Amino acid sequence: MKKRNLVESLNFAIEGIIYVLRTQRNLRIHFAAALMVLGVSLFVDLSRVEMMVLILTIAMVIVAELINTAIETAVDTYLVFEHPLAKIAKDVAAGAVLVASLSAVVIGYFLFFNRLNPLASMVIQRVAQSSPYLTVAVFLIVVILIISVKAVTGRGTPLSGGFPSGHSALAFSAFTLITLVSQSYIIASLGLLMALLVAQSRLESDIHSLFEVASGGILGILITLLIFQIVKLYV
């Protein structure tokens, strides 16, 4: 077997990461979350040690997902039929990813909560007094805009499939409304969980791609925030 040089080894390693990104939805989600967290970190003045902890945490989650994919691929390569031990190997590898992800959430909470809490509280207090009719108006506007975008792109039907995901847009719009109005981080967290479950259901049923679901969620959040900002300026 030919011995690889450093450049070839590096190239193979990068090819492995690219393969997992192309084939594994979970790693794409982890990468998107990592980009979002790193973007937020630029504005909250983390110390050097905190930044190191953040980078190591992100690396831990991504490495766990890479190892999980490697184990699943190796097991599937050597086994033609399902075997209980193969299932255990896959479940344990998936469990490692879950532990790493939950640990990352806890670490992120300790790193960002105190820095983002004052800003979030200020936003919530400013919009909490908005008219309750605004909620209905926001949902109607989101529905109309999503259907309009689908009509322009010509993909999917108004209520199923296509770009962007209407269910995801409404779910994350609802999450944004709950966050702005409830003044409760527990309720807001439940709203986020429900929105993520809706998005996951659209992916699992193969009705939408990750891009369509993510686009719908982002549009729902941005439209809702924009409407609240406009109301705050003129009401």
What is the set of active-site residues? 65
157 DSSP assignment: B
Eight-class DSSP state of 130: S
- Answer yes or no: are the C-beta atoms of 14 and 7 closer than 8 Å: no
Task: Confirm whether residue 90 is marked as ligand binding.
Answer: yes
45 is in an annotated binding site: no
Q: At what angle do helices 48-78 and 84-127 cross, to 10 degrees?
A: 150
Any known ligand binding at 15? no
Helix (H) or strand (E) holding 40: helix 25-41
Neighbours of 55 (CB within 10 A): 13
Q: Give Cα 132 to chain centroid, integer Å.
A: 29
Q: Indicate the residue type of 219.
A: L
Positions at the binding site for a divalent metal cation: 72
Positions at the binding site for ATP: 72, 90-91
Positions at the binding site: 65, 72, 90-91
Positions at the binding site for substrate: 65
